[in-house]
Structure 1
Amino acid sequence: MKKQFALKNQDDTEFVQPNVIHLFSLVGMFITLVMGIIELFNEHTMLASILFVASFVYFLGYFAFTRLNNSALSAAIILYSLYLLMFYLVYSGGVENTGPLWIFMVAPVSVFIHGLKRGLIDIAGFLIIISLIMFFPIEIMDHAVYSIEFKLRLIYSFLTVTFLSALYEYSREKSYLHTVELSKKYRQLANLDPLTQLSNRRDALNILKREQVRMKRNKEPLSVILCDIDFFKKINDHYGHNAGDTVLVELAKLFKHSIREQDCVARWGGEEFLFILPQTTAENANIIAEKIQENIHEFAVPIEGEEVSITVSMGIEQLDRSKNIDNVINSADKYLYQAKDAGRNQIFPKHK
């Protein structure tokens, strides 16, 4: 199949799950709001204020996702506001110096939101800043004092959680890519004829529907050619079905090299092929059909030491606003049988 009709690739390297980011921002907003209210009642005014600000920032992340439809911005707001909150909790100690215990959520959230590579870079930067805050605190306001054993064990524990999070994310990404690859392969199998590797009937109909929409939008012509191999049954009967398959495969290759970049050829069924020709009138489709026939006249399939010549009959029809796809295919089919009735190796109708 030509590039024009290749399957559209999904963004396979994007591992962010927008729905989870949306949920995280919503949950984060309510949790920090509730914690802020609790700390306010406990007369921890500074911590309560920080939590209220964090709740508002999570709201901004929620707003960026729901209103601006920008999951990347929402993810950045959520992640880096989480970092800032953790910096404050480590610096101030939180409630009774338990603030640092919250940093363990940073590793899984980071690798989930930004993927393995960038997530680990973010975590490395976070760990450096946390270490500086604990070992070399700047006297901005009252800050927590931790024992050297606590600092080291906190860092060791954080590195362990980071390793486990990275291992999980690596496995998740590998599984995701494998699933995407399998899905892509199954989509291709569903849309390709296994023998000729051309589009099958289902894919051809989907392409026709897309081209019909584009034709109506751009007011451009669209034509089809229905092609049938002459006396194909005799080839199967005389040489066997394997020889018939060889003819179909070799003819499919010739067809693909005989059409333009924007065109598509599909195996319509049995020994029938359908050519879809965008931006093409019936008159120009006739020229393309004649070119294909000329190529076939110079073409022979080697079977059991013999050079077997092939001819085809073709029916042409142009799609316009007054016709649906079924009508166009049926019309092309009628022209095809007129070509066969006229002695085969013909193109109907003739356009001059």
Structure 2
Amino acid sequence: MDSASLREFLENTHLNNAEAKRRRLTLYFISYIGGFIMAALAVQNLARGDHYLAFWLGFFSFSVFANAALSHIFKNSNIFYYIAGFVVAVMVAVITITGGYNNTGLHFVYPIILIQIIIVRFRAAIFYVTGTVVVVAFIVYNQESIPANYRGEDVSRFLIALGCFIVVAFISEYFWHKSRKEMMTDNLEKLRQANSDPLTKVPNRRFLESVYFERAMKNPADYFPLSVVVVDIDYFKKINDNYGHDVGDKVLIKLATLMKKAIRSTDVVSRTGGEEFLILYPKTSLSVAVKLAEKIRVEIEKSPYTEGDIHHSITASFGVATALTDININAAIKLADEHLYEAKGAGRNRVM
């Protein structure tokens, strides 16, 4: 996992989850509050004898409640936001046609059409709102066959005011999204720095414990069986003692780069401390993980560190274990550690 992949992983884990939660809560709040208001108005119009308007208000109240209820069941689906936007478009059209109470329905168009801008994603909202305004304009300029009766001067002023309202709302929404994106980018970079090793640029232990394993436990089907490989550079202290810590750092960078190139796009190489690394192989059995670790071991053995007069052979020892479920992660890492010590005790430069 390189820096770009780490940023994407963190964005999908933290920032996109926060945005999805914000949109979902906004949908629920607007749906339930709006649904109750429309239900109350439906009862009021029913008592007033306007059965036609009462029916439509009741229908829209039921629709938004049902849409919100279904979104509780299918939480990962975005279709309910677009259904809500479509319901709003139909609602605006019906209110414009009926005229509401004493032809005052147009006053409700302003807050209702704002829902489309808030709930539907910015670009999609442009099409939703444009289509809704076109329908409203067509209705108010062709009043011959509708119950409502609007004066010509009221129609023109309403459309001008509505246009100004929409422009201001979109400008506000645009700059809100822009400032939020800038804050997200800044927060994402801070998250990346906090979750990556500054020397090798691979994820660190904090990333594993607070991000990767947490996500694996939330989506076990995408990760388990999860094979873990503990990697430790053989006789690394001798490298530091003989050539200095600068060379030791370069060796760590070299091995991290080599392992990143050797793994698959779904796998993760992390530095867990000193000369020790941890490789994670999601959806990988123990036998396959052993073969993949052996491939890396051979690659390391074939890649000595060379710089000027320095030509130093490098080897590493590997311990492998597999977690079958999320409750076995820590046990698997502990077992892989034990296998690593077995590999060192057996002469190093091997996979156990």
Report the TM range for the smaller structure's normalisation: 0.7 to 0.9
CA distance change for structure 1 residues 92 and 276 in 2, over 3 Å: closer, same or farther?
closer
* Partner residue, 1:292: 299
Local SS of the residue matching 1:266: strand
Q: What do residues 241-286 of structure 1 show as CA deviations (whole Å, max 9, x unaligned)?
A: 3333222212322333345666543323112233456434386467
CA distance change for structure 1 residues 117 and 325 in 2, over 3 Å: closer, same or farther?
same
CA contact (8 A) 2:35 2:61 kept: yes
Q: In 2, distance between residues paired with 1:70 and 1:195?
A: 37
Alignment of 1:60 onto 2:75: no
CA distance change for structure 1 residues 21 and 310 in 2, over 3 Å: closer, same or farther?
same
Deviates most, 12-21 or 119-128: 12-21
Q: In 2, distance between residues paired with 1:235 and 1:136?
A: 86
* Partner residue, 2:91: 85
- The equivalent position to 2:166 in structure 1, one of 139, 162, 168, is 162
CA distance change for structure 1 residues 68 and 128 in 2, over 3 Å: closer, same or farther?
same
* Partner residue, 1:145: 150
* Partner residue, 1:311: 314
Q: What do residues 197-242 of structure 1 show as CA deviations (whole Å, max 9, x unaligned)?
A: 223234456768959x779966x9x463432242x44544555433
State the 1:347 CA deviation: 2.4
CA contact (8 A) 2:202 2:256 kept: yes
State the 1:301 CA deviation: 3.4
Q: In 1, distance between residues paired with 2:299 and 2:127?
A: 57
CA contact (8 A) 1:313 1:336 kept: no
CA contact (8 A) 1:107 1:161 kept: no
- The equivalent position to 1:245 in structure 2, one of 235, 249, 268, is 249
- The equivalent position to 2:47 in structure 1, one of 38, 41, 47, is 41
AA aligned opposite 1:58: V
CA contact (8 A) 1:61 1:77 kept: yes
* Partner residue, 1:268: 272
CA contact (8 A) 1:225 1:289 kept: no
* Partner residue, 1:224: 229
Local SS of the residue matching 1:144: coil
Question: Percent identical across equivalent pairs?
Answer: 22
Q: In 2, distance between residues paired with 1:68 and 1:214?
A: 18
AA aligned opposite 1:334: Y
* Partner residue, 1:173: 177
CA distance change for structure 1 residues 57 and 237 in 2, over 3 Å: closer, same or farther?
same
Alignment of 1:19 onto 2:19: no
State the 1:295 CA deviation: 1.7
Alignment of 1:188 onto 2:192: yes
* Partner residue, 1:334: 341
Local SS of the residue matching 2:121: helix
CA contact (8 A) 2:85 2:115 kept: yes
Q: What do residues 142-200 of structure 1 show as CA deviations (whole Å, max 9, x unaligned)?
A: 33131x32222111111111011101221232234334434443443343212102232
CA distance change for structure 1 residues 283 and 17 in 2, over 3 Å: closer, same or farther?
closer
- Which structure would you say has the larger Rg? 1
Q: In 2, distance between residues paired with 1:208 and 1:24?
A: 35
Q: In 2, distance between residues paired with 1:28 and 1:348?
A: 66
Task: Give the alignment's TM-score, normalised by structure 1.
Answer: 0.77
Q: What do residues 36-72 of structure 1 show as CA deviations (whole Å, max 9, x unaligned)?
A: 2222333334333332233233333233334555864
CA distance change for structure 1 residues 294 and 55 in 2, over 3 Å: closer, same or farther?
closer
Q: What do residues 306-351 of structure 1 show as CA deviations (whole Å, max 9, x unaligned)?
A: 3341423414344477992353143134235426xx5xxx3257x8
Local SS of the residue matching 1:192: coil
Task: Give the alignment's TM-score, normalised by structure 2.
Answer: 0.77
AA aligned opposite 1:291: V
Local SS of the residue matching 1:84: helix
* Partner residue, 2:9: 7
CA contact (8 A) 1:300 1:309 kept: yes
Local SS of the residue matching 1:151: helix
AA aligned opposite 1:53: F
Deviates most, 109-118 or 5-14: 5-14
Q: Please, which runs of 5 or more residues in structure 2 have no aligned partner? A: none
CA distance change for structure 1 residues 157 and 294 in 2, over 3 Å: closer, same or farther?
same
Q: In 2, distance between residues paired with 1:144 and 1:110?
A: 26
Report the count of equivalent residues. Answer: 335
